[in-house]
Structure 1
Amino acid sequence: MINRIMLLLVMLSGNLLYAQETDCKVLAPRISGIYRGECKNSLAHGKGIAQGIDMYEGEFKKGLPEGMGVYNWADGSYYEGYWRQGLRDGSGIMTFSPDSIVRGFWKADKYAGKEKIKQYEVTQSRYVARSSFSRTGNTPLQVKVKLTLGGVPNNTIQDFSMTYSSGEEFRLGTAYGIQNVTYPLTVRMQYRTWNVMRTVMTDVTFEFRINEPGSWDVNIQN
Structure 2
Amino acid sequence: MNGYRIQGKWKNDTLYYGIRKDSLGIYTGEMNRYAIANGYGNYNAGKGNYSEGFWKNNQRNGFCFSIRPKQKIRAGEWKNDKYYGERVNYTSNRIYGIDVSKYQHEIGKKKYGINWNQIRIISLGKLSKKKITGNINYKVSFAYIKSTEGKSIYNKYYKNDYNKAKAAGIRVGTYHFFSTTSSATQQANFFLKKSCFHKGDFPPVLDVEPSHEQIAKMGGAQELFSQIRTWLHIVERKTGVKPVLYISQMFVNRYLPMAPDLKHKYQFWIARYGEYKPDVKLAYWQLAPDGRVSGIHGEVDITVFNGYQSQFSDFVDKHTIR
Taking structure 1 as the reference length, the TM-score comes to 0.35
Q: If each structure's strand is expressed as a fraction of its own residues, which one has the higher value?
A: 1
Higher helix share: 2
